[in-house]
């Protein structure tokens, strides 16, 4: 049984947003709150709106209605609102109008600060220009952009006029971009000439041009310039960003029905055609405001930074949630360890970040560089740490908790996904914490762990399921309702199968075990790769690991581990055997790896998730590895081939 390593201090508890909510409703303990938030959904989801001050221009008359079936539940019926009215307009016209709300830093070092008033003026001009370009409510507007101040303006301007925003990862190849633009029938594309990563110019506009040859619905492209390099120009279609803004003036936030779409977020598509998940103004705003306000305790005095990209759901999530609560949000476009290994910690210190989030793999990369790069910076202003994206191993979790957070800051480890633009699992800052835990269900989220027969499991790994709807669950898949039902609701009647493995321990604390399609099954026993990888990292000699299952004629699958060593260790047969025995010592003989292979790198997305599917496919010699454009370091696949 894991021990509790963090207990919330009384002053944090008393001043927290969630304690205020509990006092208001006469709730004395967090377990009672969680139980009531799920058992009485109408009370909870209405109380969130009231407590956080979410503004509806026209009030709703019904919180939820599942009359068409649970997969098609409607929320906040009769209400009309707009995300921008809640996240920007009210701050820009209030007493905090001239306070900084956005800081955007790029790798070369240039910084763009904007006040609420300044951001609102830019959003108004962009919204007005969109209207002048013929974009109407319900039209789709895409952004193939780096993580800059301009993309925040574009996101909010699209919301403001009731159009639908589609963020596209700026590292995608043309085919992946074209597929999303075609599926959504986007009319306008925001893009950029290029960005800078590790001191090198990375072209974007050329890929956009190639994608647009396969996406005829796009009739206008608005181009932001970040370099002086020459780029191809299509005079009738392409418009420079400053010229586009100059055509705009003022705009009023268009009030839309609660369930009208605000976003289409596409899944990565690494294992099939990407799914266009649809998210409404009310569902998105209420869920994100709840999570950022209660789980991360964000207040107007905070500076909030999540190391992310606009193409990952955490980008829009941070922007919407941070601005709603009146905090200063920070964006960064570039490599977090360039030009020096302490770039990230330097930014946290310089911008006085108080709430910070990152992925476990990014922490493992930072660990490899060394703790001294963190300790030379004053991070005493940090009060909340966050993480998401994949399971933790204990060594990395402890490093984040102790080295970055100085054992003062809780790690709010969350898990959900693009398809709910939020979290199924999340601690609150008033929870005692064990290493690596997610504590339990997020507020209002009716989730459980089931076996194949649909029976609840405790102490064993099972499927993460949702037994009741939530406001931010995708409204379906764009133009594909049958695939929506097949993807999420076909395993059990009226139960959402999220595709993750989870486990609940004897204290009722939840732990994520990874994606079900990553799970390894040895002699009929399932094990998540994170458990094996975590065992390897405990040696202190491994900085990253990927464990995959490969076919075995007797046991069904055998375990093959790919490891990246710490800089002060070199591959040897003795070390290989030590790593094998470490896994056996932690997990037992049945989980003994058949092979441990040393590699210099592992393939990752830009958000630092290891792509185990590619590791496995490369090891098995598959020729068609699918779309690699979401992988930031495809050369790592060559390292896998050399290791075999």
Q: 373: domain range?
A: 336-412
Task: Return d(Cα 191, Cα 202) in angstroms, integer.
Answer: 13
Q: Which of 209, 234, 249 is the last residue of a domain?
A: 249
294 secondary structure, DSSP code: I
- Is the pLDDT at 156 greater than 60? The verdict is yes
Kindly state the average pLDDT of the residues 90-102. 97
Q: What is the pLDDT of residue 605?
A: 79
Does 452 fall in a domain?
Answer: no
Q: In terms of pTM, does the model score above 0.85?
A: yes
Show the CA angle centred on residue 255, arms to residues 101 and 154, nearest 5°: 45
Does 237 fall in a domain?
Answer: yes
Q: What is the pLDDT of residue 2?
A: 67
Q: Which of 223, 249, 275 is the last residue of a domain?
A: 249
The distance of Cα 399 from the centroid of its chain, to the nearest Å, equals 21
Does 581 fall in a domain?
Answer: yes
- Evaluate whether 356 touches 386 at the Cβ level (below 8 Å): yes
Give the DSSP H/E element, type plus range, for residue 329.
strand 328-333
- Evaluate whether 372 touches 340 at the Cβ level (below 8 Å): no
Beta strand extents in 39-108 (DSSP E only): 62-65, 74-77, 80-81, 100-106
Task: Return d(Cα 313, Cα 352) in angstroms, integer.
Answer: 24
Transcribe 261-292 into DSSP letters: EEEEEE---TTSSPPEEEEEHHHHHHHHHHII
Give the rounded percent of residues in the chain with a pLDDT score beyond 90: 80
- Look up residue 209 and give its two tokens: 């041009």
Q: What is the pLDDT of residue 524?
A: 62
Q: What is the pLDDT of residue 272?
A: 60
Crossing angle of helices 612-619/636-643, nearest 10°?
Answer: 40
For residue range 511-546, what is the model confidence (pLDDT) as tens digits? 988 777 777 877 666 677 887 898 899 899 999 999
- Is the pLDDT at 273 greater than 90? The verdict is no
Q: What is the pLDDT of residue 495?
A: 97
pLDDT bucket at 390, cuts 50 / 70 / 90: confident
Task: Return d(Cα 313, Cα 217) in angstroms, integer.
Answer: 24
- Is the pLDDT at 590 greater than 90? The verdict is no
Q: How many domains, the chain?
A: 3
Instruction: Tell me: cis bond preceding 445? Omega within 30 of 0 counts.
Output: no
Does 394 fall in a domain?
Answer: yes
Q: What is the pLDDT of residue 604?
A: 86
Q: What is the mean pLDDT of the chain?
A: 93
Nearest to 165 by CA among 70, 84, 252, 81: 84
Q: Which residues contact 183 (CB under 8 A, 6 or more apart)?
A: 266, 274, 276, 478, 479
Total residue length of the chain = 644
Kindly state the average pLDDT of the residues 84-98. 97
Task: Return d(Cα 367, Cα 541) in angstroms, integer.
Answer: 11
For residue range 603-637, what is the model confidence (pLDDT) as tens digits? 987 667 788 888 998 989 887 787 677 788 888 88
Q: What is the pLDDT of residue 270?
A: 47
- Ramachandran region, residue 99 (left: φ > 0; alpha: ψ -120 to 50; beta: rest): beta
Does 453 fall in a domain?
Answer: no
Q: What is the pLDDT of residue 520?
A: 80
Kindly state the average pLDDT of the residues 50-67. 98
Does 279 fall in a domain?
Answer: no
Does 189 fall in a domain?
Answer: yes
- Is the pLDDT at 220 greater than 50? The verdict is yes
Q: What is the pLDDT of residue 68?
A: 95
For residue range 411-443, what is the model confidence (pLDDT) as tens digits? 999 999 999 999 999 999 999 999 999 999 999
Kindly state the average pLDDT of the residues 213-228. 97
Q: Which residues contact 302 (CB under 8 A, 6 or more apart)?
A: 322, 325, 327, 328, 354, 355
Show the CA angle centred on residue 570, arms to residues 568 and 575, nearest 5°: 115
Q: Which of 249, 276, 303 is the last residue of a domain?
A: 249
Q: Which residues contact 35 (CB under 8 A, 6 or more apart)?
A: none
Transcribe 114-150 into DSSP letters: EEHHHHHHHHHHHHHHHHHTT--TT-EEEEE--SSHH
Kindly state the average pLDDT of the residues 142-163. 98
State the CATH number of the domain containing residue 237.
3.40.50.980
- Is the pLDDT at 310 greater than 60? The verdict is yes
Task: Return d(Cα 103, Cα 109) in angstroms, integer.
Answer: 12
Show the CA angle centred on residue 555, arms to residues 600 and 492, nearest 5°: 95
Kindly state the average pLDDT of the residues 230-258. 96
Q: Are residues 351 and 238 in the same domain?
A: no
Q: What is the pLDDT of residue 523?
A: 65
- Look up residue 585 and give its two tokens: 């010592």
- Evaluate whether 285 touches 253 at the Cβ level (below 8 Å): no
What three-state secondary structure class fits 8?
Answer: coil
Q: What is the pLDDT of residue 525?
A: 65
Would you tell me how many other CB atoms lie within 10 Å of the CB of residue 258? 22
- Evaluate whether 534 touches 571 at the Cβ level (below 8 Å): no
State the CATH number of the domain containing residue 534.
3.30.300.30
Does 195 fall in a domain?
Answer: yes
């Amino acid at each position: 049984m894991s021990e509790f390593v963090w207990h919330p201090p009384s002053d944090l508890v008393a001043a927290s947003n969630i304690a205020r909510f509990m006092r208001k409703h006469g709730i004395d303990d967090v377990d009672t709150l969680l139980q009531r938030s799920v058992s009485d959904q109408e009370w909870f989801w209405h109380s969130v709106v009231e407590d956080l001050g979410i503004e509806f221009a026209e009030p709703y008359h019904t919180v939820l209605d599942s009359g068409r079936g649970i997969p098609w539940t409607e929320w906040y019926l009769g209400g009309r609102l707009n995300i921008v009215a809640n996240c920007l307009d009210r701050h820009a016209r209030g007493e905090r109008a001239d306070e900084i709300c956005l800081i955007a830093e790029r790798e070369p070092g240039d910084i763009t600060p904007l006040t609420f008033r300044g951001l609102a003026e830019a959003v108004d001009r962009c919204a007005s220009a969109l209207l002048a370009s013929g974009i109407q409510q319900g039209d789709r507007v895409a952004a193939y952009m780096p993580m800059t101040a301009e993309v925040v303006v574009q996101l909010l301007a699209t919301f403001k006029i009731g159009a639908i925003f589609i963020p596209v990862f700026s590292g995608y190849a043309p085919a992946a971009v074209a597929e999303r633009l075609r599926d959504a029938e986007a009319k306008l594309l925001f893009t950029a000439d290029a960005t800078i990563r590790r001191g090198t110019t990375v072209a974007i506009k050329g890929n956009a041009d190639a994608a647009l040859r396969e996406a005829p619905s796009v009739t206008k492209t608005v181009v932001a310039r970040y370099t002086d390099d020459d780029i191809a120009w299509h005079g009738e279609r392409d418009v420079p960003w400053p010229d586009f803004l100059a055509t705009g003036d003022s705009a009023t936030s268009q009030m839309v029905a609660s369930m009208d779409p605000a976003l289409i977020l596409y899944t990565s598509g690494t294992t099939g055609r990407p799914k266009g998940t649809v998210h409404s103004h009310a569902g998105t705003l209420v869920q994100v405001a709840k999570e950022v306000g209660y789980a991360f305790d964000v207040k107007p005095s905070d500076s909030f930074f999540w190391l992310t990209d606009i193409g990952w759901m955490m980008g829009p999530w941070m922007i919407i949630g941070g601005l709603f609560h009146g905090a200063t949000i920070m964006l960064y476009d570039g490599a977090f360890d360039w030009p020096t290994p302490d770039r990230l910690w330097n930014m946290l210190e310089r911008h006085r970040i108080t709430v910070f989030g990152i992925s476990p793999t990014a922490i493992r990369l930072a660990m490899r560089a060394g703790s001294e790069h963190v300790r030379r910076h004053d991070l005493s202003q940090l009060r909340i740490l966050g993480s998401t994206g994949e399971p933790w191993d204990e060594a990395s979790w402890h490093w984040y908790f102790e080295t970055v957070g100085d054992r003062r800051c809780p790690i709010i480890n969350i898990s959900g996904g693009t398809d709910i633009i939020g979290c199924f699992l999340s601690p609150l800052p008033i929870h005692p914490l064990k290493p690596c835990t997610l504590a339990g269900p997020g507020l209002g989220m009716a989730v459980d762990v089931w076996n194949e027969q649909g029976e609840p499991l405790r102490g064993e790994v099972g499927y993460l399921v949702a037994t009741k709807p939530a406001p931010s669950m995708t409204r379906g898949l764009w133009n594909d309702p049958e695939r929506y039902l097949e993807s999420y609701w076909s395993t059990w009647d009226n139960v959402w199968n999220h595709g993750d493995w989870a486990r609940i321990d004897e204290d009722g604390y939840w732990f994520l075990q990874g994606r079900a399609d990553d799970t390894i099954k040895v002699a009929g026993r399932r094990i998540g790769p994170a458990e094996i990888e975590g065992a390897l990292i405990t040696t202190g000699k491994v900085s990253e690991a990927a464990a995959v299952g490969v076919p075995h004629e007797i046991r069904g699958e055998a375990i093959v581990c790919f490891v990246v060593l710490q800089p002060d260790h070199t591959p040897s047969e003795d070390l290989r055997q030590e790593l094998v025995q470490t896994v056996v010592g932690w997990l037992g003989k049945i989980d003994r790896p058949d092979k441990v292979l040393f590699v210099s790198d592992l393939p990752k997305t830009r958000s630092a998730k290891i792509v185990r599917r590619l590791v496995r496919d490369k090891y098995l010699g598959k020729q068609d590895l699918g779309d690699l454009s979401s992988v930031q370091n495809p050369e790592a696949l060559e390292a896998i081939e050399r290791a075999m």
